[in-house]
Structure 1
Amino acid sequence: MSRNGIEGKVVLIAGGAKNLGGLLAREFANSGARAVAIHYNSDATKSAAEETVAAVKSAGAKAVAFQADLTSAAAMEKLFADTVAAVGRPDIAINTVGMVVKKPMAEITEEVFDQSCAVNVKSAFFFLKEAGKHINDNGKICTIVTSLLGAYTPFYAAYEGLKAPVEHFTRAASKELGDRGISVTAIGPGPMDTPFFYPAEGEDAVAYHKTAAALSPFSKTGLTDIEDIAPWIIFMVSAGWWITGQTILVNGGYTTK
């Protein structure tokens, strides 16, 4: 089993049923992963998870799917324990889970704030905790954040503000796990052309985002496409293992730090 490759590895993807997570599951299987564990959140995503499991199996890898609301430490513990029981200890763990909130701060209720905090902060922390406990030595961990971490903008306080702690979690985890050869990174995509993006944005905002990146004219949608992000994640959890503790913004020149 290659230290830096995908072949023969066990992969766990939180939010792995569809969109970026679903593409990653397929790409890992096509790259020779031995098994892919796919987490999905709710019954609404079950059929997508089943389709992704079928695609992974058809590529020759073992696949399992687990449903869970990952906003509790117990649920995260169970996800990793179930993965280990079904396919073995993961070599690669990727967390794509997130919740977009776009509202003025004056309109954000305590309920919305708490929900966003649970999804974007709490689940990210406990994912890293459980990954550190269960992942094999020389493993790779990557969390999906947002390129808004490099933006000076209103209305995203409960989104970019609650993704920002993941940068600090990433740095801390990379230091704590480095002596086991484990790299820990975060990838911040630009606004992606997925159903995750559009509900939070009005028509004017969508039009702006489609022209905001330096390379927007060369994108099929003007936005970041999942096909632009997947190769970066695969690189970071394979040949790019020497990069650790960092958050990389991958966005075609939408924002920088």
Structure 2
Amino acid sequence: MSSTSRVAVVTGGSRGIGRAVTRRLAAAGYDVAVVHAVNQAEAAAAVKEIEVVGRVGRAYQADVADASVIEQVFGSIEEQFGGTDVVVNSAGIMPLAPVAALDLAVLDRLLRTNVRGAFVVAQQAARRVRDGGAVVLFSSTATRLHLPAYGAYAATKGAVEALVPVLAKELAGRNITVNAVAPGPTATDLFLDGKSQEAIDQIARANPMGRLGTPEEIAEVVRTLADRARWINGQTVFVNGGFA
């Protein structure tokens, strides 16, 4: 592969919003490295979708919170693709419980994946993204909705929002943008899991648009931040149909 090819790294890229992001970036001309945690079959399917549109895709299995493994993965991506231009961290977990009832072991898992994982990926992005590139992290509209049972999850996403403008300023002079995307309720397995159809319909009706978002709608915003919207930097962009 030529070192002049545009290369994107997408964590959590085998399912849900991350999978839609890999498709959208591939369609925009990026070769894509898909970083996934467990599901090798889904990751392989994501790579096939990248290849269908004529781009190069490769899958890498890693825990985003494992700094040494993520460093090795980014090193392999540089060797195999020639460099990195865009890093998107969509890996995350969303166990829900009221603050009074939350098992602190669950809190530790949330902090490890959603905060440490985002930081580890952002750290590698800061070290490796080529000048003129972009870093896109994921927050959530849950930071504004203040819904019961979302306290721990929203707290982890608030940490991501705090990180973004700091990193944007630290990368000054390199023409690298750093932003977060904060989706509202979106029709993914992560969001739908454990919810009754009645609860899903109620959430959809509460949105001014009368429905849930789609992964493709979120992916389009990520694609825009990747290389089109160069004057958006250090921001959290809420993509929620007016939900909050």
- What TM bracket, shorter-length normalisation? over 0.9
Partner of 2:119: 125
Asked if 1:134 is matched to 2:128, the reply is: yes
Structure-1 separation of matches of 2:113 and 2:134: 22
Structure-1 separation of matches of 2:68 and 2:195: 33
Partner of 1:46: 40
- Aligned Cα root-mean-square deviation (Å): 1.4
Deviation, structure 1 residue 238: 1.2
Query: Per the alignment, in what secondary structure is the counterpart of residue 192 of structure 1?
Result: coil
Deviation, structure 1 residue 149: 1.4
Residue type of the alignment partner of 1:28: L
Q: Match for 1:72 among 66, 69, 79? A: 66
Deviation, structure 1 residue 52: 1.3
Deviation, structure 1 residue 109: 1.1
Residue type of the alignment partner of 2:206: A
Structure-1 separation of matches of 2:220 and 2:120: 25
Partner of 1:23: 20
Structure-1 separation of matches of 2:201 and 2:51: 39
Q: Match for 2:56 among 56, 62, 80? A: 62
Structure-1 separation of matches of 2:19 and 2:146: 31
Q: Label 1:179 to 1:200 Cα distance change in 2 as closer, same or farther (>3 A).
A: farther
Residue type of the alignment partner of 1:248: V
Structure-2 separation of matches of 1:223 and 1:129: 32
Contact 1:12 1:92 in 2 (8 A): yes
Of the structure 1 ranges 236-245 and 21-30, higher mean CA displacement relative to structure 2 is found in 21-30
Deviation, structure 1 residue 154: 1.9
Number of residue pairs matched by the alignment: 241
Partner of 2:219: 230
Residue type of the alignment partner of 1:229: I
Deviation, structure 1 residue 40: 0.8
Q: Deviations over 1:176-228 (max 9, x none)?
A: 01211110000001111011112243454323211121112xxxxx1111121
Deviation, structure 1 residue 166: 0.5
Partner of 2:146: 152
Structure-2 separation of matches of 1:49 and 1:158: 28
Deviation, structure 1 residue 20: 1.7
Partner of 2:169: 175
Query: Per the alignment, in what secondary structure is the counterpart of residue 139 of structure 1?
Result: strand
Partner of 2:88: 94
TM score, norm. by length of structure 1: 0.90
Q: Matches of residues 174-213 of structure 1 in structure 2 within 5 Å?
A: 174-213=168-207
Residue type of the alignment partner of 1:22: R
Deviation, structure 1 residue 140: 0.3
Partner of 2:238: 249
Of the structure 1 ranges 201-210 and 230-239, higher mean CA displacement relative to structure 2 is found in 201-210
Partner of 1:3: none
Deviation, structure 1 residue 79: 2.1
Deviation, structure 1 residue 229: 1.0
Gaps of 5+ in 2: none
Query: Per the alignment, in what secondary structure is the counterpart of residue 70 of structure 1?
Result: coil
Deviation, structure 1 residue 249: 0.7
Contact 1:102 1:200 in 2 (8 A): no
Q: Label 1:200 to 1:158 Cα distance change in 2 as closer, same or farther (>3 A).
A: farther
Deviation, structure 1 residue 239: 1.1
Query: Per the alignment, in what secondary structure is the counterpart of residue 87 of structure 2?
Result: strand
Between the two proteins, what is the percent identity of the paired residues?
A: 28
Query: Per the alignment, in what secondary structure is the counterpart of residue 158 of structure 1?
Result: helix
Residue type of the alignment partner of 2:220: P
Residue type of the alignment partner of 1:110: L
Q: Deviations over 1:103-161 (max 9, x none)?
A: 11111112100000001100011111110001101110001211111113221111011
TM score, norm. by length of structure 2: 0.94
